[in-house]
Amino acid sequence: AAYVASGMADAGFGVEAAARRFGLDFIPMAREHYCLLCREDSLELPAMAALLRVLQNPEFQARIGQLPGYALSRPGEVLPLTQALEQWGRESLL
């Protein structure tokens, strides 16, 4: 986005939030889903508990929801991998 905004490039791939920050047009080309994978035993670690608290915090979720191009889907929810993949498969059909 910075290269396009400065005139060093005519177009580029990037995220909507960066394009909006520089006052650029944005054309969505793809949709990506992200998840955090961990070993089940790491769920008991204090650091993982702290991360889950942040992800589940309504204030954090509201701030992410204000970013153009980002949408949260069940942040901080803990699922077995097979169940998460099944849900993603159904969502990709929508």
| pLDDT tens-digit series, residues 37-73 | 899 999 999 999 999 999 999 999 999 999 998 888 8
- pLDDT above 80: residue 89: no
Burial class (CB in 10 A: 0-12, 13-18, 19+), 16: middle
Spans of all domains in the chain: 1-30, 31-94
**pLDDT over threshold 90, residue 16:** yes
Strands (E), the chain: none
CB-CB contact of 28 with 16 (8 Å): yes
pTM: 0.69
